[in-house]
Amino acid sequence: MLTRYLSDMMVKPHQSPLFDNPENYDLKYEDVAFEASDGVTIRGWLIDGGNDKIIIQSHFGVQCNRAGYCPEGKGIIKPWKQNISFLRQAKQLVSMGYSVLMYDMRNHGESDIGTTPWITWGPEEAKDIIAAVDFIESHSIYTDAKIGLLSICMGSAISTYAFGMENGLRNYENVKAMIAVQPLQYQKFVDAFGMPRFLQRSSAKLNKQRTGIDMVQTSFLDDVCQINVPTLVVQNSNDPWTEMSFVDSYYANLTVEKQMLLLDLEKNRFAAYEHLGSNPNGIYEWFDKYM
| pLDDT over threshold 70, residue 151 | yes
Contact 104, 66 (CB under 8 A): yes
CA dist., res. 104 & res. 112, Å (int):
9
For residue 123, pLDDT over 90 is answered with yes
Q: Given this model, what pLDDT does residue 184 score?
A: 95
CA distance linking residue 285 with residue 281, whole number of Å: 8
pLDDT at position 87? 98
List the alpha helices (DSSP H) in 144-196: 154-164, 186-193
Average pLDDT, the chain: 95
Residue 229, pLDDT above cutoff 80: yes
Contact in structure between 215 and 189 (CB atoms under 8 Å):
no
pTM above 0.85, yes or no: yes
* Average pLDDT estimate for 57-86: 89
Give 222 or 5, the one with higher predicted confidence: 222
115: three-class secondary structure by DSSP: coil
- pLDDT tens for 230-251 read 999 999 999 999 999 999 999 9
**Cα gap 30→18, rounded to integer Å:** 16
pLDDT digits (tens, 9 = 90+) for 35-44: 999 999 999 9
For CA atoms 247, 182, 239, 276, the dihedral sign is positive
Assess whether pLDDT exceeds 70 at residue 56. yes
Q: State the Cα–Cα distance between residues 209 and 120, nearest whole angstrom.
A: 12
> How far, in Å, CA of 112 to CA of 110, rounded?
7
Identify the DSSP state of 104. P
Q: Which is higher by pLDDT, 102 or 9?
A: 102
Q: What is the pLDDT of residue 190?
A: 85
Domains and CATH numbers, the chain: 2-290 (3.40.50.1820)
Rg (CA), the chain: 18
Closest to 234 (Cα-Cα) out of 44, 89, 64: 89
DSSP-derived pairing of the beta strands 175-181 and 53-58: unpaired
C-alpha pair distances (Å), 245 with each of 95, 183, 197, 238, 249: 35, 11, 20, 13, 6
| Residue pair 120/107 in contact by the 8 Å Cβ criterion | no
Report the DSSP beta bridge partners of residue 30.
46
- pLDDT above 90 coverage of the chain, percent: 86
Rounded-to-integer distance, Cα 67 and Cα 21, Å: 7
Residue 9 has pLDDT above 70, yes or no: yes
Predicted local confidence at residue 124, as pLDDT: 98
How confident is the model at residue 177, as a pLDDT? 98
Question: Is pLDDT at 75 greater than 80 in this prediction?
Answer: no
Q: Averaged over 263-286, what is the pLDDT? A: 96
As a whole number of angstroms, the distance between CA 45 and CA 65 comes to 12
Q: What is the pLDDT of residue 25?
A: 98
Angle, helices 154-164 vs 126-138, to 10°: value is 70
CA-nearest of 86, 69, 64, 71 to 13 is 64
Judged by average pLDDT, the poorest of 6-15, 31-40, 108-117 is 6-15
